Structure 1
Amino acid sequence: MPMQYKQFIYHLFIYLKPHVGKLVFTSVMIMLATVLESSVPEITGRIVDELFATQRESRTAFIYAFALFGIVVLSSLFALTSTAVSSWVSNKVIMDLRVTMFAKLLKLPKSYFDQHPTGKTLSKLTFDVEQIADSASTIWLDFIKSSMTVVILISYLFYKNWQLSLTLLVLLPLMYLAVKLSSNRMRRSSIKVQKSMGDMTHLLNENISGNTLVKIYHAQSQISEKFNSLIKNIRQQHFKVDMSSSFNTAFVNILIGLSLSSVVYFSSTSLQMSAGEFLSFFTAMGMLLKPAKSLVNINKPLQNAMAAGESVFGLINEKKESNVGTKKLKKPKGAIQFNDVSFGYNHNTIVLKRINLDIKSGETIAFIGATGSGKTTIIKLLMRFYSPKQGSITVDGIDINQFEIDSFRSNIAFVDQNVQLFNDSIRGNIALGQLGTMSDKQIKLSAIAANADEFIQQLEHGFDTQIGENGVSLSGGQRQRLAIARAIAKDSPILILDEATSALDNVTEKQVQNAIHEMQKDRTTIIIAHRLSTIQKADRIIVLRHGSIIEQGTHQELLEHRGEYTQLYKHQFEN
């Protein structure tokens, strides 16, 4: 359901509330500027009647000239002050919204990122926020200035000649009707523009990060066709918005043109107005053209802002990751139990079926199985990225949902096969989350343990070397060793390894495996593996098939059992 005006204003006012004083001040400034500008028609008419239609006195001419100059100077200063303050408020609102959105992103559950493409989320923080900023200041000031100018000038026109001014009574309701008819269409088109911009940002992000695959698979024409289709849709929706706005402007111009023509005819015939009176009246009506158009055109940025508000405030109002636990988990022994755990990512699919598993403190457990057997899902549940649909997971006999989530995760170190590094220094990546508290000695010892110190020392800036986006300046093996060093540096009692040595050559893998074995001492370690050579020393190997445990035991016990594990082993080592 589209966001309503009241909802939009309510959400926006939360961010404008700290700046109400500045908004009042800037509103007063723009009002003073408007009042001064609106006095021009009267002064112009008097100049014609008192200077050019009579004897031209230098003293009177100087007074009027000084008055006109004073009006221009003061109104310009008031308008400049108003613009400066409103710009400050607008940019502050943009900053506050982005800070709030980014803070919310850090607290959203993993399911949100699974369902929302990265590019669309980025578009919310870039494009959509800018659209809202227009309503924070520009639209507000335009509305005040334009509406106040219209009220003052219409009042002045009725004061000068109420008969001629009656035409305005026909103008205003017709203008309102034109705006009303175009609003819904502009809103629909604006929402489509927001969505398409998100799709475009996602496509750009996807293809910039995946440019190697695009080139290797010669997918340029396929991607270009998709991009061109998106751009075409954005152009069409922008065109619809612009045409609706232009129609309103043209309609208002025609109405005002009709009124101006009527003034010219009647003032010079039946009403017999003086030259000064005619000029005052005609100038005032002419000055109505710009604010009237502004009031009509203000609907376009307002509809854009409301469409953007639906996107931005929708993100801000997303439910945070569940964190109802209150207990602090400090130095756990690391005993983990899965008690009758079942889980599915949606209602139609069950990924895990009644998993029961008792992992002792300090034990090394390895999960193996075909793709889709549930290995990664078990890890996600343990790290509390998702919650079981049935059953419970405990650490040291306490349900993990009873722990405060940051306290719980601080006791888990994780190395993923899809290594994620940050555009920071090597030091910043190893000491991720602990940069201010971790000593240089601990960082270096962690690098040595992960067999990463040698290549780090060869870099020009050593540990202060900036590695670029996702470690683009490093090889795959170097990136994986940094990820292992990061896990070693965290020194957590629970260690999770998801194919942690998959990008290493045989020699380096053996060195790093030795480091991992040292790191596993006195820690509960869970390994996801495809290469069975990396898990033969595990205390227990758990074999999964279609979300169920079908075998478990040591490497030798499973070989003697001659079941699924034996078949996997033969497939890898005897083929």
Structure 2
Amino acid sequence: MNSSILYWRLLRHIKPYRIIFVLTIFAMVIMAITEPLLPALLQPLLDDGFVAQDAQMIGLIPLLLIILMVIRGLATLASSVGMAWIATRLVMDLRGLMFEKILTLPTTTFDDQSAGVLLSKVTYDVNRVMAAATDSLIIIVRDSLAIIGLLAWMFYLNWMLSLIIFSVVPFIIIVVRYVSRQLRGFNMTLQETMGDLTRILEEAIAGHKLVKIFGGKKYEQARFNETSNQVRRLEVKNQLTNGLSVFIVQLLITVALAVIIYIAAQQSTQDMISVGGFVSLFTAMGMLFAPVKRLTKVNEQIQQGLAAAQSVFELIDQVAEIEKSQTISSAIPRLRGEIEFKQVTFHYSGQEKAALQQLSLSIGAGETVAIVGASGSGKSTLAQLLPRFYDIKQGDLCLDGRSIQEFNIAELRANMALVSQEIILFNDTVAANIAYGEMSGVDFSAIVDAAKLAYAYDFIMELPEGFATMVGERGVKLSGGQRQRLAIARALLKRAPILIFDEATAALDTHSEQQVQRALRQLPSHCTTIIIAHRLSTIIDADKIVVMDQGNIVEMGTHAELLLKKGHYARLYQIQLTH
């Protein structure tokens, strides 16, 4: 993306704060105007005060200096505080947009991109954007105006000498343009490497038990050190490239100033310039160094920020899940729960082998259907397709006789509750984890009822603060079975017409499993329940059992019917009985 386009897009995000922004820029202008006034005051002080012995001028100049410093100080304070306020708001707004987009990205994005890379964008990249949008803007506006003011004063004093400064401008432009391209490339690579570093760190923290038990410390340390060293080398390259550019620019300006000082000294001996004029000119030239130095260094900040901005906007511009198709215009009613897969073939991204092949299956409203089969047979894929975590490319999936593609995604998911193999709990209270999201406003009695239905009530009341107990990150303070029963309570509290249990009892002991079985039997008859299970003892009472193998349905019927067939299901059941 073009640098100017990126920068203007960043500035558009400042538009809501334009009043403060304009006032901040005004403060910068005032601050820049005061820059050439200091050498301007030196000329009358020396020529009229010290040389001509003008008593009025001797008394007036110090007073003007105090007023000048007060104005300059207030303008500096206003500009720095104002820009800091805008910068922090910009970062907050961009982080908000990024987080909002992350919450709406399709599941395939999370399959293809690590959590560490996304974390790096939200935490690291956006901070560098602030340097391009605000910090560098202060330097560009303030120091550019200061340089213009100082050069204008120098031209007023002696235009021939001041022209020498402009002789080095073409060389400075060439250096800055070349360095800009180099720094942009370095910073984009640096951000990608920082994403890798964050990913490695996130994986090591999440899998710390695995690292310890399998002796992965050296391997993880080596990965981390190698990536960290890449970050270090890129940082050094950045500093070296920027440092060389600053050195070259400052050397060119110093040579020009040296020539000016020499010629001015010659002119002073011939009374072509007064003492006050010479000192004022020399002071103005000396004051040029600081803003020129900052301007030559600001290029690094800008390139870092623009590279980060490109990364941030790439995330913000990613296509979210399709919220609504063009053919639907009204809100969907509460579903009855009738489900039909019609010749569905599905491939996961990057995989040639189909997870589902020409699969057809009808589930009546209010039915309890169990889906069983070996690992990789496509059972969980069915559960992923119903809430549209993945979209079907071949075939169709209908709910209550309508294609799932016609439904608003949010309203579709409002009609479903899911308990998956991976139990997700948030670092909040037990009650908040059960009544999560749109259920957060329900009566406490409903939360208690759901906990009882999931046979979680007894262990919850044994916790230090009952329903107000914090469960820790990912529910680390609870056992696997306790986490799973909380997830089941959350699903039951939703009272959705379609319930999906994807290995919902996998982490439960025999006693807890039996309790949840009894709870599932108490579900309303109008609720369609899909149970995906390895342990066949959990689905004996299902209205219909679907046996899958290699993405196909190979058998279907009740528990008793399938045993009589002595096929796939009977063999699976016999294997589990003997273990």
Q: Considering the TM-score relative to the shorter chain, is it more than 0.5? A: yes
Residue 498 (structure 2) pairs with residue 500 (structure 1): no
Q: In the alignment, is the contact (CA less than 8 A) between 1:471 and 1:479 conserved in 2? A: yes
Q: Which residue of 2 aligns with 1:286?
A: 286
Q: Distance in 1 between matches of 2:4 and 2:171?
A: 25
**TM-score, structure 1 normalization:** 0.97
Q: In the alignment, is the contact (CA less than 8 A) between 2:268 and 2:278 conserved in 1? A: no
Residue 412 (structure 2) pairs with residue 415 (structure 1): no
Q: Distance in 2 between matches of 1:7 and 1:516?
A: 57
Q: In the alignment, is the contact (CA less than 8 A) between 2:7 and 2:133 conserved in 1? A: no
Q: Distance in 2 between matches of 1:520 and 1:558?
A: 26
AA aligned to 1:191 is: M
AA aligned to 1:356 is: S
Q: In the alignment, is the contact (CA less than 8 A) between 2:439 and 2:494 conserved in 1? A: no
* Pairing 1:277-356 to 2, within 5 Å after superposition: 277-325=277-325, 326=328, 327-346=330-349, 348-356=352-360
Q: Distance in 2 between matches of 1:53 and 1:263?
A: 24
**Deviation string, structure 1 residues 474-532 (Cα, Å, up to 9, x no partner):** 11111111001101111111110011111111112111211122126331111111111
**TM-score, structure 2 normalization:** 0.96
- Residue 36 of structure 1 deviates from its aligned partner by 1.1
Q: Distance in 1 between matches of 2:524 and 2:217?
A: 46
Q: Which residue of 2 aligns with 1:144?
A: 141
* Pairing 1:416-431 to 2, within 5 Å after superposition: 416-431=420-435
Residue 434 of structure 1: SS of its match in structure 2? helix
Residue 96 (structure 2) pairs with residue 99 (structure 1): yes
Residue 110 (structure 2) pairs with residue 113 (structure 1): yes
- Residue 270 of structure 1 deviates from its aligned partner by 4.3
* Pairing 1:123-272 to 2, within 5 Å after superposition: 123-272=120-269
AA aligned to 1:202 is: R
Q: Distance in 1 between matches of 2:528 and 2:505?
A: 18
- Residue 56 of structure 1 deviates from its aligned partner by 6.3
Q: In the alignment, is the contact (CA less than 8 A) between 2:165 and 2:257 conserved in 1? A: no
- Residue 21 of structure 1 deviates from its aligned partner by 2.3
Q: Which residue of 2 aligns with 1:43?
A: 41
**Deviation string, structure 1 residues 394-432 (Cα, Å, up to 9, x no partner):** 111111121211111111111112110011111111011
AA aligned to 1:460 is: P
AA aligned to 2:87 is: S
Q: In the alignment, is the contact (CA less than 8 A) between 2:133 and 2:305 conserved in 1? A: no
* Pairing 1:418-497 to 2, within 5 Å after superposition: 418-497=422-501
Q: Which residue of 2 aligns with 1:521?
A: 525
- Residue 46 of structure 1 deviates from its aligned partner by 2.5
Residue 75 (structure 2) pairs with residue 78 (structure 1): yes
RMSD: 1.5
**Deviation string, structure 1 residues 126-170 (Cα, Å, up to 9, x no partner):** 111111112222111110011111111122212211222222122
* Pairing 1:357-376 to 2, within 5 Å after superposition: 357-376=361-380
Q: In the alignment, is the contact (CA less than 8 A) between 1:323 and 1:401 conserved in 2? A: no
Q: Distance in 2 between matches of 1:222 and 1:186?
A: 32
Q: Which residue of 2 aligns with 1:21?
A: 19
Residue 555 (structure 2) pairs with residue 558 (structure 1): no
Residue 377 of structure 2: SS of its match in structure 1? coil
AA aligned to 2:42 is: T
Residue 331 of structure 2: SS of its match in structure 1? coil
Deviation larger for 498-507 or 269-278: 269-278
Distance 1:248 1:434, change over 3 A: same
- Residue 45 of structure 1 deviates from its aligned partner by 2.8
Q: In the alignment, is the contact (CA less than 8 A) between 2:430 and 2:467 conserved in 1? A: yes
Deviation larger for 16-25 or 385-394: 16-25
Q: In the alignment, is the contact (CA less than 8 A) between 1:135 and 1:302 conserved in 2? A: yes
AA aligned to 2:347 is: G
- Residue 328 of structure 1 deviates from its aligned partner by 2.9
Q: Distance in 1 between matches of 2:108 and 2:54?
A: 81
Q: Distance in 2 between matches of 1:405 and 1:546?
A: 29
Q: In the alignment, is the contact (CA less than 8 A) between 2:35 and 2:150 conserved in 1? A: no
Residue 419 of structure 1: SS of its match in structure 2? coil
Q: Distance in 2 between matches of 1:172 and 1:433?
A: 60
Residue 321 of structure 2: SS of its match in structure 1? coil
Residue 65 (structure 2) pairs with residue 68 (structure 1): yes
Identity within the alignment, %: 38
**Deviation string, structure 1 residues 259-287 (Cα, Å, up to 9, x no partner):** 22212321222453332222111111111
AA aligned to 1:313 is: F
Q: Which residue of 1 aligns with 2:404?
A: 400
Q: Distance in 2 between matches of 1:7 and 1:266?
A: 45
Q: Distance in 1 between matches of 2:39 and 2:443?
A: 74
AA aligned to 1:519 is: L
**Deviation string, structure 1 residues 39-91 (Cα, Å, up to 9, x no partner):** 1112123322223334363x422211111111111011011111111111111
Match of 1:534 among 521, 538, 547: 538
Q: Distance in 2 between matches of 1:430 and 1:392?
A: 33
Q: Distance in 2 between matches of 1:418 and 1:521?
A: 27
Q: Which residue of 2 aligns with 1:7?
A: 5
AA aligned to 1:122 is: L
- Residue 7 of structure 1 deviates from its aligned partner by 2.3
Q: In the alignment, is the contact (CA less than 8 A) between 1:89 and 1:136 conserved in 2? A: no
Q: In the alignment, is the contact (CA less than 8 A) between 1:430 and 1:483 conserved in 2? A: yes
Match of 1:573 among 549, 554, 577: 577
Q: Distance in 2 between matches of 1:359 and 1:209?
A: 38
Residue 362 of structure 2: SS of its match in structure 1? strand
AA aligned to 1:419 is: I
- Residue 435 of structure 1 deviates from its aligned partner by 4.2
AA aligned to 1:372 is: G
Q: In the alignment, is the contact (CA less than 8 A) between 2:190 and 2:234 conserved in 1? A: yes
Q: In the alignment, is the contact (CA less than 8 A) between 1:183 and 1:303 conserved in 2? A: yes
AA aligned to 1:467 is: V
Residue 298 of structure 1: SS of its match in structure 2? helix
Q: Distance in 1 between matches of 2:12 and 2:522?
A: 53
- Structure 2's unaligned 5+ residue stretches are none
Q: Distance in 2 between matches of 1:464 and 1:553?
A: 44
Residue 332 of structure 1: SS of its match in structure 2? coil
- Residue 436 of structure 1 deviates from its aligned partner by 4.0
Q: Distance in 1 between matches of 2:568 and 2:414?
A: 36
- Structure 1's unaligned 5+ residue stretches are none
